[in-house]
């Protein structure tokens, strides 16, 4: 039986181990094909990617996010990705370093020794400001950005990942009403910002400018509804992945004094008391490895779903048209055949020689192939900078009741947030 909610991580792992990295699991009236062996993951996400479209979990996001990158498929997805890619390539990401450092410094200035901060919420605000600047250029921050606060929408979408949750979303509960109101406010704000930019002549090197300048195959401007879909999608996804990644990373790091000491030595030497810059961020190698190792243990996208659009074959498995296929970074990343002592937090797994020795899809926290997360590079730079600046400034201790528990829905959030006690370094 395919697992639901609380036990799904353990049961997915058990099924994959029992069947050797590939299994067919009953899920109501249908079957789900689970592939976690690296070569089968590569076939699903890369070699035979054209035989699949986005899975039901992400397709459900279209209710609020329309045809944005998360829920779109086929030529629509390819065209939109080509338009957006320049905002996320290496040179563009390097240009965001000063912005990320500035937003992080402002956030940390409000932290007080002895207080308890939900670091997931804190990082969400930093990531929201960064994405607002990527999308609209310098301007309003926090809830004053055109997209506003989309947290109620994400909470709604998380509930759609189980049958019981989907039934609940059809009822006019307070949570459903909050999500719909937040989505309506966000949509109105985004559409108004697009209209203002168009009245001002369009243009600009930010995402709005790129989208307004883009055309379809017939040379026509993109519909404003599609531009709004993309902006809302990127705004929501951009803050969600970074917030989850840093929540797990900060907990894992501050449980290990030797790791904290190594990070502080690196930050003190590389940054010399200054903000990270384009030149110095590349020196934060230990910080980057800690983020990578945290995403191995707690990948933001714990599972990636696909639906077969035609009959196909993955390895020795015949996959019929309409079948649901799942690859799971959570399972692959904890496979002892790929990762010795897999539950141990060891940033040295991501030293260059160790990375070269592993199969490509032993590690895929951002997915793979044509649907690799478009903001992966930006997310890594954000997480690395924020980690280095937090460790340099403070000591943190977990303040929750027991260790954080992973909540596997659309993303892998820590159940109940990430409360941490702020202490002096």
Task: Report which of 155, 188, 3, 119 is spatially closest to residue 386, judged by C-alpha positions.
Answer: 119
Show the tokens assigned to 238.
């951009």
* pLDDT at position 135: 81
Q: Which pLDDT does position 2 carry in this prediction?
A: 45
pLDDT of residue 199: 82
Nearby residues of 5 by Cβ (< 8 Å), 6 or more positions away: 161, 162, 408, 409
Q: Give Cα separations from 217 to 44, 79, 80 (angstroms).
A: 28, 9, 12
Per CATH, the architecture of 5-424 is what?
Orthogonal Bundle (1.10)
What does each C-alpha distance from 58 to 2, 24, 64, 411 come to in angstroms? 18, 21, 11, 11
| Per-residue H/E/C for 13-46 | HHHHHHHCCEEEEEECCEEEEEECCHHHHHHHHH
Q: What is the DSSP letter of 276?
A: P
pLDDT of residue 234: 83
Backbone angles phi, psi at 54, to 5 degrees: -60, 145
Closest CA to 258 of 382, 354, 348, 333: 348
Q: Is the pLDDT of residue 3 over 60?
A: no
pLDDT attached to residue 313: 97
Average pLDDT of the chain, as a whole number: 87
The residue with tokens 């890369």 is: 46
Lowest mean pLDDT among 23-27, 59-63, 283-287: 59-63
32-48 pLDDT, tens digit each:
999 999 999 999 999 99
- Residues of the chain above pLDDT 90, percent: 53
Confidence band for 60, pLDDT divided at 50, 70 and 90: low
Question: Which tokens hold the place of 335?
Answer: 């496979």
Residue 358 CA from chain centroid, whole number: 23
- Of 206, 263, 205, the closest CA to residue 231 belongs to 206
Q: Where are the domains of the chain?
A: 5-424
**Across 356-364, average pLDDT:** 97
8 Å CB contact between 27 and 8: no
Which residues, at least 6 apart from 125, have a Cβ–Cβ distance to it below 8 Å? 107, 142
Each residue of 44-59: pLDDT tens digit? Answer: 999 999 999 887 666 6
Give which of 67, 96, 95 is closest to 83, Cα–Cα.
67
Q: Phi, psi (5° rounding) for residue 162? A: -125, 150
* Distances in whole angstroms, Cα of residue 373 to Cα of each of 152, 238, 255, 286: 22, 10, 29, 23
The two beta strands, 406-408 and 412-414, are: antiparallel
Give yes or no for residue 132 having a pLDDT over 90.
no
Between 55 and 370, name the one with better pLDDT. Answer: 370
At a CB cut-off of 8 Å and minimum separation 6, what does 122 contact?
A: 107, 111
pLDDT: which is higher, 229 or 105: 105
pLDDT tens digits, one per residue of 190-236 = 888 888 888 877 777 788 888 888 877 778 888 888 888 888 888 87
Summarize the confidence of residues 341-364 as an average pLDDT. Answer: 97
- Give the list of residues 6+ apart from residue 423 with CB closer than 8 angstroms, or none: 113, 114, 394, 395, 396, 397
* 3-class DSSP state of 223: coil
pLDDT at 1: 44
Q: Report residue 138 CA to chain centroid gap.
A: 23
Residue 331 has pLDDT above 90, yes or no: yes
Phi, psi of 116 (to 5 degrees): -105, 125
Alpha-carbon distance values, 99 to 109, 146, 160 (Å): 16, 18, 34
Least confident among 87-91, 117-121, 275-279:
87-91
Considering only residues 179 and 363, tell me which one the structure prediction assigns the higher pLDDT: 363
Residue 159: what pLDDT? 66
As a whole number of angstroms, the distance between CA 163 and CA 184 comes to 25
> Averaged over 235-244, what is the pLDDT?
86
Tokens of 423: 């202490």
Q: Quick one: pLDDT at residue 175?
A: 73
Q: Which of 107, 108, 186, 193 is nearest to 152 (CA)?
A: 186
The predicted model gives 171-195 an average pLDDT of 80
Q: What is the pLDDT of residue 245?
A: 96
Q: Is the pLDDT of residue 333 over 50?
A: yes
Q: What is the sign, positive or negative, of the torsion defined by CA atoms of 147, 148, 151, 153?
A: negative
Check whether 249 has a pLDDT greater than 70.
yes
Q: What percent of the chain has pLDDT over 70?
A: 90
pLDDT tens digits for range 260-270: 999 999 999 99
Max mean pLDDT range (2-16, 26-40, 148-162): 26-40
């Amino acid at each position: 039986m395919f697992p639901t909610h609380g036990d799904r991580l353990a049961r997915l792992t058990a099924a994959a181990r029992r069947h050797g990295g590939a299994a067919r699991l009953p899920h109501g009236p249908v079957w789900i094909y689970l592939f976690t062996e690296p070569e089968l993951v590569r076939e699903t996400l890369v070699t035979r990617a054209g035989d699949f479209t986005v899975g039901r979990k992400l397709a459900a996001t279209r209710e609020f996010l329309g045809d944005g990158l998360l829920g779109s498929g086929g030529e629509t997805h390819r065209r939109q990705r080509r338009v957006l890619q320049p905002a996320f390539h290496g040179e563009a990401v390097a240009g965001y370093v000063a912005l990320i450092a500035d937003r992080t410094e402002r956030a940390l200035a409000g932290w007080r020794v002895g207080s308890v901060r939900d670091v997931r919420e804190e990082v969400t605000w930093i990531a929201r400001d960064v994405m607002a600047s990527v999308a609209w250029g310098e301007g309003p921050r926090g809830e004053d950005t055109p997209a506003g606060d989309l947290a109620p929408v994400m909470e709604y979408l998380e509930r759609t990942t189980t049958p019981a949750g989907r039934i609940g979303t059809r009822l006019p509960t307070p949570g459903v009403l909050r999500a719909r109101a937040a989505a309506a406010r966000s949509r109105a704000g985004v559409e108004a910002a697009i209209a203002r930019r168009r009245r001002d002549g369009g243009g600009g090197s930010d995402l709005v400018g790129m989208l307004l300048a883009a055309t379809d195959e017939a040379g026509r401007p993109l519909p404003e509804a599609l531009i709004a879909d993309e902006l809302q999608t990127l705004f929501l996804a951009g803050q969600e992945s970074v917030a989850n990644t840093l929540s797990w990373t900060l907990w894992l790091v501050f449980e290990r004094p030797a790791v904290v000491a190594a990070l502080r030595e690196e930050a003190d030497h590389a940054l010399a008391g200054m903000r990270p810059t384009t030149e110095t961020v590349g020196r934060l190698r230990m910080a980057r490895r800690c983020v990578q190792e945290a995403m191995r243990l707690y990948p933001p996208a714990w599972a990636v779903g696909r639906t077969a659009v035609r009959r196909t074959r993955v390895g020795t498995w015949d996959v019929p048209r309409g079948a649901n296929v799942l690859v799971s970074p959570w399972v692959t990343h904890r496979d002892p055949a790929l990762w010795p002592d897999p539950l141990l937090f060891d940033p040295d797994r991501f030293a260059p020689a160790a990375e070269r020795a592993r199969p490509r899809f032993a590690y895929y926290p951002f997915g793979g192939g044509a649907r690799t997360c478009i903001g992966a590079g930006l997310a890594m730079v954000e997480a690395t900078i924020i980690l280095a600046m937090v460790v340099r400034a403070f000591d943190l201790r977990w303040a929750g009741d027991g260790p954080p528990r992973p909540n596997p829905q659309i993303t892998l959030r820590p159940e109940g947030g990430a409360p941490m006690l702020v202490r002096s370094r």
